[in-house]
Structure 1
């Protein structure tokens, strides 16, 4: 009997939704998040090119007479397989490079959709302030090329939206059954995303339990029991780590780095632009505190606080995976912004202003990211013309510049560009990560010595002092010419030309140069 009036109320509510809550608008902002990635043939994300080298090995190792000389590959149940698994069928279907672009292109809209779904479930409508969280789909971790992590976070927020919805509808048994396989999928995408999903669901369930009249202590216990349905990957992880003996954990409570990560939450190319964007997000949060008409959802605010504790506790490196705490920070800020709502009924004049400002902020960030990626893509396209002069299976040692002695702001998008030797020439490149338990690539060609793996390709000019590092002149002096066929210098730091005497240049592009080793 009551169903009819409820449906009538919902239809009336839909008919009077403000423009930022309409389905066409939501679909538009989700699709707009793909714009920065449409032009580049390969997303110019820092680490992505190194990952693509590994993808080529896993796809073609047994079909390539060259790759099998340099690399091996073994599958294992590790929590870092998101894009690796997707590339296998899609890469064989449409080719590796289009497959990578398509997969990475899907991550920002999935992230934006997850943000908006969470906000809708918590507030029962879409607050205009949620638009200020959307630029975090292109946060520092994503721009750095942590694609497995970024994919797992996108999945985690989508799953969190489902968790909230099923909890709101009281379908707890169905939720428990669904989140066993969901947690496994997120875990295999990346362990950190699974951990974040657990924190999100635990904190939200604790608030829901407390809202039903239970004490915080009892609510926490009940929430832990509900979230325990996602614990199965813990046993997979224990088995994985028992077989992996490498991968250090270090950098606990390094406050200087943590403060830097806050400022770098939207780091890309222009420091003033990125810092101003983070400051704008901070201003939105302060406005929500200062303006009486605005407040925070206890649900998402508590979730943001739990994530903040995770950020504080996490070390800088976990199991050999660097920037562990940095990866979490942008999503702490995004969750805090998503928590903002109106105190009482929506005040439409203020809501319209906030919606316009939020949409403008989102558009400006997307525009800046689009230009930045286009610039990087054009630069990389010009650099990759060198591969036209490299034969199949060649051993290519390469070096590039650690920008501004490691103190620069612009992301070093060419730090793994040389891995395209593996992707397009099935050759050897000295930039692959060799950390046990971190990925599934095995290094066979160890004759290159110091130039066998990452970070041998990243060098510094001779005047950089104080932090140590791999100086370009020392690298060129120690370069084992008899172990390589080519030396490729991609926008290198200034160096002493005496160290390249006797090498035959076969291609140039500005400061970049490809030498043949006769």
Structure 2
């Protein structure tokens, strides 16, 4: 049964050749550069890569290992496909180590493998959190077996590996392990303060990456800010299961919330103090963490789904609880898991169909072309947010072409862009356009983008689901391919548009 649950967690990603996660195509473009830059004059004219130790390299390193054997896109498919089952396995293992069996409420936690941060495309973080959950289960197991020295020896390298996978997940593991060890020490009869000191001592095995963190961030800098944004934090919690159908996703989250609340008020159901402490500590971190950490946005948002998952597997059904009642909860949980998995599978299929239609444009792009892309989005993103904003990077992966959607953050990326003729349309978010100027956002309107991009610096223009725009701004652009509102143009006349467009 457990093997079925873990395997079924991968089903939604079986069909798509490219997992339709918002940021993933952008990462795939970067992976192509990292793999082939040395032998590709086409890529060399646009990009450079400098390998250095960063706390954000989980999938990057696996791609370097697997892509030469499997090919880039099959390697990405395999890696991303494994993240949900690894997450599910980690949650089930943690639950077993704490309870000695799998509580029926754990079934409600498994759909959180397809959480909003994962669907946003934070694949390094999602992979690292899947590894962190399994590492946490191992930490609990070795504690249960009373093997502290072996645990310390094992977790010295684990902490370093996890840091390089993603630093935020390494931090989350530290919080989980400290809270669990604190409860274990306290339950052994020690004073709370002494328990905290001993827990900190045990967690020293997780601290070697601190030096790496300080060295990494002393070089990169990066802005840290937007503290205690209560409105945003509430949104992240509400959006923990956000995918395509708002009412369905909100009802699903409401059901999960109701189960957690019912467990809190029902006398015959309790919580594991171990995992309850972990959920509490993670909640405090979530509340205190700013939205932007060292230039990386959505730092706090990434933790929100795991608060629900940990709380669900923390629920304990004592031996004396009516077996029929527990079985009923398990049956409802299994139904919840299967319905969510089926809906996610359908959602992925539909997004994949859209990817296939849009990517047909690349058949008309010559290898090594300089292409600027503009992907439309509204000022207020709908619940089923666009998965097309980084699709332009597939031109790097498949055609070794230039794409203006790559992230350039000091110390956070291995890739840099050097293509002066394309300035300022060189990096994310120059590929994002809207119909009107969006308050508080820095991207351009579609009209301004079409009027001001350097036509002598680009050979092709790819409009991906663009908003309505002035057709006069398309003068000098020859359409080569069209699907719905998306169009691929060749720049036939490099002369700039004379009209003045209001900013």
TMscore range, shorter length: over 0.9
Query: Any conservation in 2 of the 1:144–1:411 contact (CA below 8 Å)?
Result: no
Aligned counterpart, 1:275: 250
Are the structure 2 counterparts of residues 254 and 415 from structure 1 closer, same or farther at C-alpha, using a change threshold of 3 Å?
same
Structure 2 distance, partners of 1:210, 1:465, is: 51
Aligned counterpart, 1:179: 155
Aligned counterpart, 2:495: none
The 5 Å alignment of 1:354-503 reads 354-402=329-377, 404-462=378-436, 469-503=443-477
**Residues 469-478 or 86-95, more deviating:** 469-478
Aligned counterpart, 1:298: 273
Query: Any conservation in 2 of the 1:187–1:233 contact (CA below 8 Å)?
Result: yes
**Residues 267-276 or 464-473, more deviating:** 464-473
> How far 1:444 moved relative to its partner?
1.2
> How far 1:463 moved relative to its partner?
7.3
Which runs of 5 or more residues in structure 1 are unaligned? 1-24
Structure 1 distance, partners of 2:22, 2:328, is: 36
Residue 333 of structure 1 aligns to a residue whose secondary structure is helix
> How far 1:462 moved relative to its partner?
2.3
Query: Any conservation in 2 of the 1:267–1:411 contact (CA below 8 Å)?
Result: no
Aligned counterpart, 1:225: 201
Are the structure 2 counterparts of residues 464 and 179 from structure 1 closer, same or farther at C-alpha, using a change threshold of 3 Å?
closer
Are the structure 2 counterparts of residues 240 and 516 from structure 1 closer, same or farther at C-alpha, using a change threshold of 3 Å?
same
Q: Structure 1 runs of 4+ off > 4 angstroms?
A: 463-469
Query: Any conservation in 1 of the 2:48–2:417 contact (CA below 8 Å)?
Result: yes
> How far 1:332 moved relative to its partner?
1.1
Aligned counterpart, 1:257: 232
**Residues 476-485 or 285-294, more deviating:** 285-294
Structure 1 distance, partners of 2:237, 2:173, is: 21
Structure 2 distance, partners of 1:367, 1:233, is: 39
Query: Any conservation in 2 of the 1:292–1:343 contact (CA below 8 Å)?
Result: no
Query: Any conservation in 2 of the 1:293–1:347 contact (CA below 8 Å)?
Result: no
Aligned counterpart, 2:16: 40
> How far 1:430 moved relative to its partner?
0.2
Aligned pair count? 492
Query: Any conservation in 1 of the 2:430–2:443 contact (CA below 8 Å)?
Result: no
Residue 406 of structure 2 aligns to a residue whose secondary structure is coil
The 5 Å alignment of 1:47-62 reads 47-62=23-38
Structure 2 distance, partners of 1:517, 1:262, is: 45
> How far 1:224 moved relative to its partner?
0.8
Aligned counterpart, 2:78: 102
Structure 1 distance, partners of 2:456, 2:5, is: 54
Query: Any conservation in 1 of the 2:429–2:443 contact (CA below 8 Å)?
Result: no
> How far 1:469 moved relative to its partner?
4.2
Which runs of 5 or more residues in structure 2 are unaligned? 493-503
> How far 1:465 moved relative to its partner?
5.4
Matching of residue 507 in structure 1 with residue 481 in structure 2: yes
Matching of residue 352 in structure 1 with residue 344 in structure 2: no
What TM-score do you get using the length of structure 2 for normalisation? Answer: 0.96
Are the structure 2 counterparts of residues 463 and 79 from structure 1 closer, same or farther at C-alpha, using a change threshold of 3 Å?
closer
Aligned counterpart, 2:303: 328
Aligned-CA RMSD value: 1.1
Residue 506 of structure 1 aligns to a residue whose secondary structure is strand
> How far 1:257 moved relative to its partner?
0.3
Query: Any conservation in 2 of the 1:405–1:460 contact (CA below 8 Å)?
Result: yes
Residue 37 of structure 2 aligns to a residue whose secondary structure is helix
What TM-score do you get using the length of structure 1 for normalisation? Answer: 0.93
**2:56 corresponds to which of 80, 84, 87:** 80
